[in-house]
Structure 1
Amino acid sequence: MEETELAELLHLVGRRLRHGYIQRLGPLGLNPGQARALRALADAAQPLRMVQLADHLRIVPRSLTPVVDALESAGLVRREVDPASRRSTLLLITPEGRRLAARARDARREEGQELFAVLSEEQRDQLRNLLSLVEEQFR
């Protein structure tokens, strides 16, 4: 298989996964960027600074501001001044934010299960390993 065909197939599968995930997030009032930010905050051992969250999500901090603004408006995240550095802002996930992060994680898992149901467990493991190998070269 040519690399362009492989890239196209990967793009199409990724697009299908993203579209299904967006459909599942709709009833939660979240978009994928907001769901990723909530999951990262829920998984963090402590509150994160904006720049730390942006680094984790691999986006520039200015792209994160509207995401955090929307999450804060919805009562899912709270901003606080970092006592260690008053020039920094910490992001704290609220109990409702944690609940929605868990529901978004379930939506992502369910969409993946549905999309990859055509593969055997062994094939899914093989695909996971191959994609992880490709992704690791960019970390």
Structure 2
Amino acid sequence: MPTPEPTVTTNLPEQLVRLTRRMQRAQKRHMAHLDIAFTPAQSRLLRIVGHCRGTPPRMADLAERLEVVPRAVTTLVDALEAQGAVRRVPDPANRRVVRIELTDTGRSTLRALRSARRAAAEEILAPLTADQREVLGGLLSTLVDGPGEPH
């Protein structure tokens, strides 16, 4: 008996992985001239720190947001600190607590990363019409914000 043709649904996981990789390659290409060498995990940590308003996040907060063990955050922060993108600061209310804040270099790097991400997305989405982009945006919002994942 011949093997049935795969349906679009059975190909979705592979398509999502391929699209993610394509987005990462495009973003890396758009960053090549910037002389910025961050891993995706370092970039994500930088974005998380950049989105925190008010009090800078604690290492434990970052580990929770990244869904990793605290030791992994230490390694990421060490690398970003070595590149001058973040700095450790003591919590004024509890000197045993370390908080992570962006430096000026980190803020400018984050702007460059956002710009590269937007350019990469535009490149990938170029074949779609405005209506298709709107539909895709709605579908992605449903998947990202939908049930099954804690926020």
TM-score by length of 2: 0.82
Give the match for residue 44 of structure 1.
52
Question: How many Å separate the matches in 2 of 1:116 and 1:109?
Answer: 10
User: Does the 8 Å contact 1:39/1:102 carry over to 2?
Assistant: no
Letter of the structure 2 residue corresponding to residue 113 of structure 1 = E
Give the match for residue 3 of structure 2.
none
TM-score by length of 1: 0.89
Q: Quote the RMSD (CA, aligned, Å).
A: 1.7
Deviation (angstroms), 1:2: 4.3
User: Which blocks of at least 5 consecutive residues in structure 2 are unaligned?
Assistant: 1-6
Task: Spell out the pairing of 1:83-98 with structure 2 (5 A cutoff).
Answer: 83-98=92-107
Give the match for residue 38 of structure 2.
30
Q: Which has the larger radius of gyration?
A: 2
Letter of the structure 2 residue corresponding to residue 56 of structure 1 = R
Number of residue pairs the alignment of both structures matches: 139
Question: How many Å separate the matches in 1 of 2:62 and 2:126?
Answer: 32
More helix by share: 1
Question: How many Å separate the matches in 2 of 1:111 and 1:124?
Answer: 15
Give the match for residue 26 of structure 2.
20
Deviation (angstroms), 1:79: 0.3
Deviation (angstroms), 1:100: 0.5
Q: Please point out which of 12, 15, 25 is paired with 1:9.
A: 15
More strand by share: 1
Deviation (angstroms), 1:28: 1.5
User: Does the 8 Å contact 1:81/1:89 carry over to 2?
Assistant: yes
Task: Spell out the pairing of 1:76-115 with structure 2 (5 A cutoff).
Answer: 76-115=85-124
Give the match for residue 4 of structure 2.
none
Question: How many Å separate the matches in 2 of 1:133 and 1:88?
Answer: 37
User: Which blocks of at least 5 consecutive residues in structure 1 are unaligned?
Assistant: none
